[in-house]
Amino acid sequence: MGTRIAIVGGFLGAGKTTLLMNLAKRYKSEGKSVAIIMNDQGEVLVDTQFARQMGFDTAEVLKGCFCCKFPELIDNARKLVLENRPDIILAEPVGSCTDLLATVVAPLKFRFPEEFSVAPLTVLLDSTRISDEVEDEGSLGAYLRKHQVQEAEVIVLSKTDLVAAEEMDGLLSIIKEMNPGARVISYSGVSKQGVAEIAELLASSDKSLKRPVDVDYELYAKAEAELGWYNGSYRFELRNETDTYDLATKILRNVAQSYENGQIAHVKLLLDSPSNSMKMSLVFSDIGVDGVKGGRKAKGMVELNMNARVLSTPDRLREVMRQSVMSVLEKTGATSIEYKDDCFSPGRPNPTYRIREDSGA
């Protein structure tokens, strides 16, 4: 039997990386070996750095989604298998990607049946955003997010710790209506509710069986193109001991203040100094701390990587991001500031394979 591989999708900021880290920790504690493949349209990905810092064997497919760079997905998966023979590979596609059954799952199943055993397609849905799905009905973004949910074989309802218990039944019935056939698992990255169930399911021998769900590539491409994508790497020196938690929070607050509510899909940063490291996120207007090692304070050379996905023109996003970072660095007294960045809107998806039949024809 081939190496187990699980594709864990879902919209930007839904909690994919957090879930992958929770699953990887759990597998490790059970004595299973795990490898991870991250994916981005740009080049410097916060999630990859974070997964590596957590000690997991992590590869990445950059400058395009898994579907458009399918041969690279296979090359990376094979390399991970050769290096460490993982019991399971967890793969996180770009959060604005859909049609994964036809373009990733089916090619894996039908073209590499001996090498890989593909888990049912798992998609995270942020439970705090389900009311937006309903309210945004008709928007391009809602079209894309709805397709992600409709094609799922397993829906992981994430962030349930942020939802009142009495609202859960209502949310579950909305999901049932969107995708009656899916298995739904409630999950919280905070309480760890659901982690054991998801871990067991993904590592089991249950296979992906669902046929692809039709999607209009015009609408899908337009929805992706509404997003601005910014990846920036900053390097600077802190001559005095500085509270880098405060510094990172101020940067994210600056970004949040520059856009209307709902425009920010996900802005994430990873700050790394000789004495500490932290990952923080801004989803909509909520700032979250995903991991801190070595405390808040730092001195010396600092690397700061930022990834932002926002409903914005790339030009405005570049300006907002540079301004948000630079104004804080200048006020903090950082010196020797250098940066390199890239900003764009994702191009039309052009999958390597698009297999829409059961036979793989």
Residues that bind ligand GTP (CB under 6 A): 10, 12-18, 47, 95, 158-159, 161-162, 188-190, 266, 268, 281, 283, 288, 290
Query: What are the residue ranges of helices labelled H in the chain?
Result: 16-29, 46-53, 70-84, 100, 106-111, 130-135, 140-151, 168-178, 195-203, 217-225, 244-258, 314-332
Query: What are the residue ranges of helices labelled H in 189-258?
Result: 195-203, 217-225, 244-258
Q: Which is nearer to ligand GTP, 16 or 109 (CB)?
A: 16
Q: Which is nearer to Mg ion, 16 or 69 (CB)?
A: 16
Select the binding partner of residue 202 from ligand GTP, Mg ion, none (C-beta < 5 to 8 A, by kind).
none
Select the binding partner of residue 14 from ligand GTP, Mg ion, none (C-beta < 5 to 8 A, by kind).
ligand GTP
Does 273 interact with Mg ion (rule: CB under 5 A)? no
Select the binding partner of residue 281 from ligand GTP, Mg ion, none (C-beta < 5 to 8 A, by kind).
ligand GTP
Does 41 interact with Mg ion (rule: CB under 5 A)? no
User: What would the DSSP string read from start to end of 79-122?
Assistant: HHHHHH--SEEEE---TT---HIIIIIHHHHHH-TTTEEEPPPE
Residue with tokens 């919209």: 11
Q: Which is nearer to Mg ion, 227 or 238 (CB)?
A: 227
Does 96 interact with Mg ion (rule: CB under 5 A)? no
Q: Which is nearer to Mg ion, 109 or 145 (CB)?
A: 145
Task: Give burial (CB, 10 Å; 0-12/13-18/19+) of 138.
Answer: exposed
| Structure tokens, 125 | 């849905």
Among 40, 47, 72, 126, binds Mg ion (CB under 5 A): 47
| Structure tokens, 6 | 């699980």
Q: Which is nearer to Mg ion, 104 or 334 (CB)?
A: 104
Q: What is the binding site for Mg ion (CB under 5 A)?
A: 16-17, 47
